[in-house]
Amino acid sequence: MAWLNAHLDRDWFGAPVPKNIRLGPNVYLESTYAFAAFFSQQDPALTMEEGSGAYGLTSFVVGPQGRVEIGAYTCLSSTAICCEDRIRIGAHCMVAWGAVITDSQVPHPETIGRRRQALLETAADPARRLRPMAEVAPVTIEDNVWVGFDSVIGAGVRIGRGSVVGCKTIVAADVPPYTVMAGNPARVLCRLDPDDTPELRKAVLAGFGLSVPDTPGWMESHA
C-alpha cells in the first residue's frame, strides 16, 4: 500500500490527494473533490484496500479524529461517508448512489434554538463545517453487504455479513448477518442462506475447473 500526496490524472478538481490516506493496488478515485471536506488529522485517516473504488460524487466528510476503512473490492458509488470517529466497510461491498453512512448525527428531538445556534456557528466558521450535536458511535459494515440507493446507515450500527439494505432504508439498529432489510424504520423482509462460505466458494470454483491455491489464508483474504 502506498502513501500519496500527488494529483490524479485528468482530475477536474485539481487538488492533491491528502497525504494521510493509504491506497492499495488498483484503487480507483474519481476525483479529489471527494476530500473537499476531509479534515482528519489521523494517520492514516483513510485506508482503501486492493481493488476498491470511490466513484461518481462519493464524498468523505471526515472530522479531525475520524478514521475510515474500506475493504478490498468494495465499490462506493456517489456515497456520502460522514465520520467523526470510525467507519469501517468490509470487503466486496456495494454502496449505491445517494447512500449516507454516518457515525454522528443530530439527535431527535432537538430544539429549534439549538439547531439555529449550530447553523449560526457554522456560518461564522471559515471552513463552514457543521459540528456534530450528539455523541458519535462507530459504524461497521461487514463483508459482502449491499446497500441500496438513498439509504441512511446511522451512528453505532453494525450490518452483518451478506446482508442487503433496500433503497431509501433508514437503518438505526444493528442488522443480523444474511438479512434483507427495507423501510423507514428498517424492518426485516427475509433471511438469506449463507452463500459465501469457503466451502461454497471452493465448490463454485471447482464447477469452472478452477482450484483454490494452497497458500494459507487465501480463502479468508479473498472473502
pLDDT band at residue 159 under the 50/70/90 scheme: very high
Q: Is the dihedral of CA 61, 5, 44, 26 positive or negative?
A: positive
213 pLDDT above the threshold of 80: no
How would DSSP label each residue in the chain?
A: -EE---PPTT-SS-PPPPTTEEE-TT-EES-GGGGTTB---SSSSEEE-TT-EEETT-EEEE-TT-EEEE-TT-EEES-EEEESSEEEE-SS-EE-TT-EEES----SS--HHHHHHHHHHHHHSTT--PPPSS----EEE-SS-EE-TT-EE-TT-EE-TT-EE-TT-EE-S-B-TTEEEETTTTEEEEE-----SHHHHHHHHHHTT------TTHHHHT-
Q: What is the pLDDT of residue 220?
A: 56
Higher pLDDT, 87 or 199: 87
3 pLDDT above the threshold of 50: no
46 pLDDT above the threshold of 60: yes
pLDDT digit string (tens) for 67-80? Answer: 999 999 999 999 99
9 pLDDT above the threshold of 80: yes
**Of how many residues is the chain composed?**
223
Q: The pTM is what?
A: 0.83
Q: At 181, which amino acid appears?
A: M
216 pLDDT above the threshold of 60: no
Q: Residues 28-50: what's their mean pLDDT?
A: 96
In degrees, rounded to 5, the angle at the alpha carbon of residue 152 between the alpha carbons of residues 157 and 55 is: 110
d(CA 171, CA 159): 9
Q: What is the pLDDT of residue 40?
A: 95
pLDDT band at residue 123 under the 50/70/90 scheme: confident
Residue 12's CB is within 10 A of a number of other CB atoms, namely 9
Cell numbers at 51, concatenated: 481493488
Per domain, the residue ranges of the chain are: 2-192, 194-223
Q: What is the pLDDT of residue 5?
A: 57
Active site residues: 108
Cell numbers at 159, concatenated: 450490518
162 pLDDT above the threshold of 80: yes
Q: What is the pLDDT of residue 29?
A: 96
Structural contact between residues 74 and 27, judged by C-beta atoms closer than 8 angstroms: no
Q: Residues 34-58: what's their mean pLDDT?
A: 96
What topology does CATH give the domain 2-192? Answer: UDP N-Acetylglucosamine Acyltransferase; domain 1 (2.160.10)
113 pLDDT above the threshold of 80: yes
